[in-house]
Amino acid sequence: MKAVILAAGMGKRLQKVSGGLPKSMIKIGKNSIIHHQIESCMNVGIKDFIIVLGYKIEQLKTHILEKIKRDQVTFIENPIYDTTNTLHSLWLARDHLDDDFIYFNADVLFQSDLLKKISKESQYSQLLLETKSCAEEEVKMIIDEEMRILQISKQLSIPKCAGEFIGIGKFNKDILERFVHYLQFGVDNGQSNNYFEYAVDLLAKDKILKAIPTDGIPCIEIDFPEDLARAKEMFSL
């Protein structure tokens, strides 16, 4: 199994506190966010990485290689990172999506126990769900009684949603041809500046995707300075 990490963006909303660093290089405790992610992967036996970079690419490459060997990682460049979003970045990695992989946004901090929930073999691809009442800004899920994902998007009716997709999921090899098809559909239809969940939402109408509750295991997506402050409180690492 591989890990695919999307780390191309510059994190505009955190520039005042990041000192101009890529968001994934911000330190929480002794490690940066992306180093925490890499360590969590290794803790569950994932040793191969595909990482999409863009902003300050050489600086971030050097930083990543402090934690893993060069032959463990495939770097992919998104040269138009400033005008595109995660759908385009994942589409750029499409030729490497040839086996089961765990997906991360590079701004999600979590305990490695979360990966144990989805890294084991399962018949279905799985996305981690934090069960809660959501805000407009968050990526939300509508699920059925069997935990099948029916819809995933920011633009969903909040009362119908089970909670927030935290930006971590496992995609099985058997659905990747269709997943790449929907990524390509998005790019072909002017959605390169959209989130990758655009393609996941289409995929969920075609294949069975399951929501897996986080069950209170700590995790946080770091978008704003207040998220960073909260992350430092949650993870005294």
**Contact status, residue 107 vs residue 24, Cβ threshold 8 Å:** yes
**Which domains, ranges and CATH numbers included, belong to the chain?**
2-234 (3.90.550.10)
Q: Where are the alpha helices (DSSP H) in the chain?
A: 15-18, 33-43, 57-64, 86-92, 113-118, 176-188, 197-204, 225-234
Report pTM. Answer: 0.94
Alpha-carbon span 109 to 195, nearest angstrom:
19
Per-residue pLDDT of the chain (237 residues; tens, 9 = 90+): 999 999 999 877 787 777 888 999 999 988 999 999 999 999 999 999 999 999 999 999 999 999 999 999 999 999 999 999 999 999 999 999 999 999 999 999 998 899 999 988 889 999 999 999 988 889 999 999 999 999 999 999 999 999 999 999 999 999 999 999 999 999 999 999 999 999 999 999 999 999 999 999 999 988 888 988 899 888 865
